[in-house]
Amino acid sequence: MSVTPGPPPQLPALGDAYGWGAAHEVRYLPTGLMNRNWRVDTEAGVFALKQLADTTAAIARRNLRVLAALIADGMPGCPPRPTVAGDPVAEIDGAAFCVLGWIDGHHPPGLQLSLTQAAEFGAVVGRIHRSLHIVGPSAGLPALPDRLTAKAMNPDETLREADRYLAAATAGGSPFDAAVVELLAHRKVLIDKYASDRPPTDVPVGRFGWTHGDLQYRNILWGRPPSPPAPEHIVGVLDWDRIKVRPYAEEVARTATIGFSHDGGRLDLPRIAAFVGGYRSITPLTNDEITDGVLRLWYKRLSDFWHLVFHYDHHDYSCDDLFITGEQTLEWWTANRDDVLAAFTGGTT
């Protein structure tokens, strides 16, 4: 039986640091995967309190300043609250925290979105990329490199990694180990069969820039404006820990395939098409860029074992279920690559 974490012991010091007065109610938010989060109702208002675990305090400071600039540029989001000393991060007793304004809303999974909402989601991602390009440098993001490279593992390396985790799973005795043995045996067949489909160069096609990095549904907040009555819209984009330079097409492909996947691995192609159409209505993306991004992401899924790194190398079992669902998606995607690509490109390549 899991125990819900209580308020952090640093709460009184955090109240002093952020000048929010007394905290009337503190509620732990269980939806985060990496960081710990609470809803804090205080004399100064309601805030989201986040204990940083997935990034350094220095990077968090930079990213929170970028977030403030994005919100000032019109992006929906929860504004960071600085400490009374003007620091967006408070470091207390060896732990680092940030505080953001609270926005009421909820996090519907992608399959609950209508096609219109999927298109709105894509348009918001397009605005994020555009705004990061415009305001990012003045907010502290470094200049972009002249060229971006993305090395794809060769099939021999990939098979060696598969065998390493296959040996670890074979030595284990849990139901997860048994599932890994079965799924990796199938993955090895796919790696061998599609070895020739490895991306031909280490240089992605098209434009790249600063990106969010984790636009899964838990980080997208939907809600209704208080007045006048209106349909639900995106009211906040959360968790800016993974801001990084990436090909734009990669983030589009990753967000769509993670967000619009059915149980059993089937991708929801109409929603993917609506999402990409929404993105392209804001930020141009050619079919060549999309085709390259989709190919690279598919091959990365074929050759990547990050869930097993967590499980077997770091003894972190929090992402075990994502390995199972990821393998199901990879199998379905591989069997339907032409249809998937057509959904991304609008039916023309």
The CATH number linked to 300 is 3.90.1200.10
pLDDT in tens, 43-73: 999 999 999 987 899 999 999 999 999 999 9
Whether residue 85 sits in one domain with residue 119: no
Please tell me the distance from the alpha carbon of residue 267 to that of residue 6, in angstroms, as a whole number: 38
Write down which residue in 101, 120, 140 finishes a domain: 101
* pLDDT tens by residue, 120-171: 999 999 999 999 999 999 999 999 999 999 999 999 999 999 999 999 999 9
Q: Is the pLDDT of residue 295 over 70?
A: yes
Both 126 and 48 in one domain: the answer is no
- Tell me which residue of 3, 9, 16, 70 sits closest to 43, measured CA to CA: 16
In a shared domain, residues 97 and 209: no
Residues 69 and 194 in one domain: no
Domain range for 93: 11-101
Instruction: Give dist(CA 300, CA 286) in Å, integer.
Output: 21
- The whole model's pTM is what? 0.93
Helix (H, G, I), strand (E, B) or coil at 124: helix
Cα–Cα distance for residue pair 104/247, rounded to 1 Å: 32
Q: Beta 244-247 vs 208-211: how paired, if at all?
A: antiparallel
Beta-carbon contacts of residue 227 (< 8 Å; ≥ 6 apart): none
196 with 275, same domain: the answer is: yes
User: At residue 320, does pLDDT exceed 60?
Assistant: yes
91 lies in a domain?
yes
Same domain, 114 and 210: yes
231 pLDDT band (50/70/90 cuts)?
confident
Instruction: Report if residue 171 sits inside a domain.
Output: no
